[in-house]
């Protein structure tokens, strides 16, 4: 994956702009466009991607279309350049992959339980009450996943516009994120 992108360069157009593997080629595009074009995960398994999309869509409707899976997958392979919220609250970048994979595997297990619903699992995650949860604290993962989904879905001028909130940056960027 090409390197040297800043957070401002990465978040654009209501979705993450970055390098994504699509049909065997690296494309510089938004996460949403990468998914539309057949994004190929490099870090997460298919099952982890499905769990991520289901959980994130309940937490932040529209995050699936915004490309949450492509964004998280690409950031997990970014090392010290990761822009995931976990980096900013103390999860070392060299531990983020194991952190997210462990949480997504635990969520996938919970989602396959009899009578489980995505909403029910998300609600239980918020309260650290997911039966049999193995991995990082579910409420901490809930917080981080919600923040990542919000970044991808609404973290730009266009996202603010979609929420009818005036974009009032302290210093207006010279170019969009």
**SS3 label, residue 174:** coil
* Of 159, 156, 151, the residue nearest 175 (C-alpha): 156
From residue 79, alpha-carbon distances to 10, 17, 177 in Å are: 15, 17, 20
Q: Say if residue 55's pLDDT is above 50.
A: yes
> Residues 70-118: pLDDT tens digits?
999 999 988 888 889 999 999 999 999 999 999 999 999 999 999 999 9
Q: What is the pLDDT of residue 25?
A: 84
Residue 171: which pLDDT band, with cuts at 50, 70 and 90? Answer: low
Strands 11-12 and 25-30, bridge-based pairing: unpaired
Compute the average pLDDT of residues 1-11: 49
Predicted TM-score of the model (pTM): 0.83
**Most confident listed range (78-87, 103-112, 153-162, 163-172):** 103-112
Give yes or no for residue 4 having a pLDDT over 90. no
Q: Are 100 and 76 in contact (CB under 8 A)?
A: yes
Per-residue pLDDT at 43: 96
Instruction: Give me the pLDDT at residue 15, please.
Output: 45
């Amino acid at each position: 994956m090409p390197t040297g992108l800043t957070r401002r360069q990465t978040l654009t157009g209501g979705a993450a702009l970055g390098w994504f593997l699509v049909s065997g080629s690296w494309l510089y595009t938004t996460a949403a466009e990468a998914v539309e074009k057949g994004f190929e995960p490099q870090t997460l398994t298919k099952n982890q991607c499905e769990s991520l999309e289901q959980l994130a869509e309940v937490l932040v409707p529209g995050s699936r279309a915004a490309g949450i899976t492509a964004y998280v997958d690409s950031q997990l392979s970014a090392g010290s350049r990761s822009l995931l919220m976990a980096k900013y609250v103390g999860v070392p970048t060299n531990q983020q992959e194991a952190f997210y994979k462990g949480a997504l595997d635990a969520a996938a297990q919970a989602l396959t339980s009899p009578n489980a619903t995505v909403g029910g699992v998300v609600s239980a995650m918020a309260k650290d009450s997911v039966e049999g949860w193995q991995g990082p604290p579910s409420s901490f993962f809930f917080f981080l996943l919600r923040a990542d989904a919000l970044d991808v879905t609404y973290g730009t001028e266009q996202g603010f516009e979609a929420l009818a909130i005036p974009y009032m940056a302290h210093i207006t960027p010279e170019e969009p994120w």
